[in-house]
Amino acid sequence: MDKVLIRQLRIDTVIGVYEWEKKIQQSLFLDLDMAWDNKAAAASDDYQYALCYETVSNRLTQLVTEKPIELIETVAERVAECVLNEFKVNWVKVVVMKPGAVPSAAAVGVEIERSR
């Protein structure tokens, strides 16, 4: 299976369950593995056959920042649903990391895999 990868996509947004979190922006970091057949793009060297990681990144930033979200689990599910439905990817792995959420950890996160 070919994959298109996005690593450490930083999205600053309102995220969290505590009242103080609902008043500030915090950073989330997203990693995505997206199943995509790269043969046509590679053979033709033609952008139209590629999964555009910039377009995906911009759309996910818009999605995550459009309204406050409490849980990173919700972020992961919405991101997976968006990638599967809007970009016609057949399988995606999404990792959402929230740095600083637990003082004794560099970051906490969730990882999900979804398919169509």
Q: What is the pLDDT of residue 1?
A: 87
18: left (phi over 0), alpha (psi -120 to 50) or beta: beta
Residues 96 and 74 sit within 8 Å (Cβ to Cβ): no
Q: How many CB atoms lie within 10 A of CB 61?
A: 16
Q: In tens digits, what is the pLDDT along the chain, a chain of 116 residues? A: 899 999 999 999 999 999 999 999 999 999 999 999 999 999 999 999 999 999 999 999 999 999 999 999 999 999 999 999 999 999 999 999 999 999 999 999 999 999 99
Q: What is the pLDDT of residue 32?
A: 98
What domain range is 70 assigned to?
A: 3-115
Q: What's the total number of domains in the chain?
A: 1
Give the HSE-up count for residue 50: Cα atoms under 13 Å, Cβ half-sphere. Answer: 14
Give the HSE-up count for residue 86: Cα atoms under 13 Å, Cβ half-sphere. Answer: 14
* CATH of residue 57: 3.30.1130.10
Examine the residue annotation and report whether 98 is marked as an active-site residue of this protein. Answer: yes
Q: Which of 23, 39, 93, 98 is catalytic?
A: 98
Q: What is the pLDDT of residue 111?
A: 98
| Calpha distance 76→97 (Å, rounded) | 10
